Structure 1
Amino acid sequence: MNIALIAHDKKKDDLVQFATAYKLTFAKHHLFATGTTGMRIQEATGLPITRFQSGPLGGDQQIGAMIAQNNMDAVFFFRDPLTAQPHEPDITALVRLCDVYSIPLATNMGTAELLIRGIDEGLLDWRKIVNEKSDENE
């Protein structure tokens, strides 16, 4: 599975902590992240992560492009609903894309716990079928 990891500045520590707690699950998948978030998770966990640009430089849009091509299977975007800064990634576009392509999206620790457990238990195996069909159409 392809999994995206993004976090607003004030939520980066939470996402690093989450990725550390579920390192064994994340290690089984291909991880993608915006620049700074990906670097921090890599440093804390040692997990291989494909890092895109930082959010302000378009990293969230690069992840959005993968979603639009149906090449992303789950998104963890820990957002700060109260004090997000103007330079931080815009979650609205990613939410829209996830809804269009039926990509599971966790925006906080609670939904992230449910999503990671679903991934761990194989409840997102239906994405493999979507990916196989996508490969056939290329």
Structure 2
Amino acid sequence: MNIALIAHDKKKNDLVQFATAYKHILEKHELFATGTTGLRVQEATGLSIFRFQSGPLGGDQEIGSMIAKNQMDLVIFFRDPLTAQPHEPDVSALIRLCDVYAIPLATNMGTADILIRALEKGAFSWRNIIHKRQGE
């Protein structure tokens, strides 16, 4: 499965802690992240992560492009709802794309915990069906 990891500045430490706790699950999948978030997670966990640009420089849009091509299976995006973001339209577009393409999206630790445990138990096998259909 392809998993995107994104975090606003005040949530980066939370995502690093999350990735550290669930490294044993995440290491079995292809990981993608926006620039600084990916670097922080990579340094803390040793996980292999493809890093896009930082969010404000287009990283959110690069991940959005993968979603639009149905090449992303799960998005974990720890948002900071209390701080204005200069690239808020990009954030909104990313969330909208997840809704349009039925990509599971966690915007906080609680939801991310549920989704990552579901991933571990094989609950995302329906995504394999979608990938097979695309190959036909």
Counterpart of 1:57 in structure 2 is 57
Q: Secondary structure of 2:77's partner? A: strand
Q: Secondary structure of 1:75's partner? A: strand
Q: Secondary structure of 1:44's partner? A: helix
Any unmatched runs of 5+ in structure 1?
none
Counterpart of 2:41 in structure 1 is 41
> Aligned partners of 2:15 and 2:115: how far apart in 1?
14
Q: Percent identity?
A: 74
Q: CA deviation at 1:94?
A: 1.1
Q: CA deviation at 1:37?
A: 0.3
Counterpart of 1:127 in structure 2 is 127
Matched length: 136
Q: CA deviation at 1:84?
A: 3.5
Change (3 A) 1:54 1:29: same
Q: Secondary structure of 1:98's partner? A: helix
TM-score (norm 2): 0.96
Counterpart of 1:112 in structure 2 is 112
* Farther off after superposition, 107-116 or 82-91: 82-91
Q: CA deviation at 1:91?
A: 2.3
Q: Which runs of 4+ in 1 moved over 3 A?
A: 87-90
Q: Is the 8 A contact 1:78 1:106 kept in 2?
A: yes
Query: What pairs with 1:82-101 in structure 2 (closer than 5 Å)?
Result: 82-87=82-87, 90-101=90-101
> Aligned partners of 2:70 and 2:8: how far apart in 1?
24
> Aligned partners of 1:99 and 1:118: how far apart in 2?
19
Q: Is the 8 A contact 1:2 1:74 kept in 2?
A: yes
> Aligned partners of 1:89 and 1:63: how far apart in 2?
14
> Aligned partners of 1:42 and 1:89: how far apart in 2?
27
- For 2:49, give the aligned amino acid: I
TM-score (norm 1): 0.95
